[in-house]
Amino acid sequence: MSVLLTLFPGQDPLSWKTAFAELLPDEAVWLDSEVPDPSLVELAVVGARPQADFSHYPNLGAAFLLSAGVDHLIRGGLPEVPIVRLADPAMAHSMAIYATYWTIHFQREFERYRADQAQHRWEARPTSVPADFSVGILGFGTIGQVVANMVGSLGYPVNAWSRSPHEANGEKHFAGIERLDGFLAASRLVVNLLPSTPETVAILNRERLAGMEPGSFLVNIGRGVTIDTEAMLEALDSGALSGVTLDVFETEPLEADSPLWDHPSVHLTPHISGDTLLATAPAVVAANISRWRRGEEVAPIFDPSRGY
């Protein structure tokens, strides 16, 4: 029984291999360079696109991703076997903290107080309450639901938008493209958690951004391609949007000459809101591999027809 381990750049091969070898004592765990014979590879744990083409492994039965998204692999060619995405509660928790931090930042106007401080200005403004600051979760999947629970627990009214209807758990739910405009108009701050699919590319376009309540906020931790960057910059400059925080971009790393770097109303981080953690991800993936070996159900499985 054997597992090929292909990692993201920057992940220490020895630490990850050791973690998987301890969790899966019945499997031979090989890094790319250690595979004795490609026909012996049965399963693959996949971070970034492996150097070796998946077609070199004729007996590959399934791929277990070290990421929730699949778009970086689609570009390089996905293996034609079942693909199991990563759903790590610790990653979702980390992203919920990120989104909650920026929700509080914008709702409590910490941006303005920072600017006041730079001017040595002492000016208390009336404090808004969370109940008056609705947060919209665009993409109400594994991670979106954890974000909704965290901001909701602080008293922010939560709107949720997804493709299919979901059981409401305190949040106001909007399903389907025909309800997107209503969702955006009802949300003072939108947290984007949509995957990159043919349907979601530039889904936040000029018209939709213009339909948001003037002075709204945007936090993008899903995928960069889902927002029309030029239209977003125009919305910021016109005051339609008051501020944005971006963790993901159309091109990563962000181009050196991107106007986003220096825009006063843009905060950005280099795709760190939900890292794949050595402390937790191997156990999540190994549990799925063990279930697979026992012939049990594994989730979440990538559905090529939906694109996520």
- Binders of ligand NAP among residues 289 to 308 (CB under 6 A) are 308
User: Is residue 224 a contact point for ligand NAP (CB under 6 A)?
Assistant: no
- Residue 156 contacts ligand NAP per CB under 6 A: no
Question: Among 34-42, 50-58, 189-197, 249-257, which window interacts with ligand NAP (CB under 6 A)?
Answer: 189-197
Closest to 48 (Cα-Cα) out of 220, 271, 198, 292: 271
271 binds ligand NAP (CB under 6 A): yes
Selected range binding ligand NAP among 24-32, 114-122, 192-200, 259-267, rule: CB under 6 A = 192-200
Of 55-63, 158-166, 255-263, 281-289, the window that binds ligand NAP (rule: CB under 6 A) is: 158-166
Q: Does residue 271 carry a catalytic annotation?
A: yes
Per CB under 6 A, does 157 bind ligand NAP?
no
One of 108, 112, 271, 291 is an active-site residue; which one? Answer: 271
Neighbours of 128 (CB within 10 A): 12
Q: What are phi and psi of 164, to 5 degrees?
A: -110, 160
Q: With 0-12 CB in 10 A as exposed, 13-18 as middle and 19+ as buried, what is 74? A: middle
In angstroms, give the least distance from the CB of 55 to ligand NAP: 25
User: How far apart are the C-alpha atoms of 22 and 24, rounded to whole Å?
Assistant: 6
Strand order in the sheet with 172-175: 172-175, 158-162, 135-138, 189-192, 216-220, 241-246, 266-268
Report if residue 107 touches ligand NAP, rule: CB under 6 A.
Answer: no
Q: Residue 114 catalytic?
A: no
The residue type of 212 is M
Which residue is closest to ligand NAP by CB? 141
Q: Are strands 189-192 and 216-220 parallel, antiparallel or unpaired?
A: parallel
CA distance 116 to 122: 7
Within 37-96, the residues that bind ligand NAP by CB under 6 A are 68-69, 87, 91
Among 103, 200, 216, 288, the residue binding ligand NAP under the rule CB under 6 A is: 200
Minimum separation from the CB atom of position 96 to ligand NAP (A):
11
Q: Quote the tokens at residue 214.
A: 């003037």
- CA distances to 100, 268, 273, 295 from 71, rounded to whole Å, are 26, 21, 17, 27
Query: Annotated catalytic sites, by residue?
Result: 223, 271
Residues at the interface with ligand NAP (CB under 6 A): 68-69, 87, 91, 139-144, 162-164, 193-195, 197, 199-200, 221-223, 247-248, 271, 273-274, 308
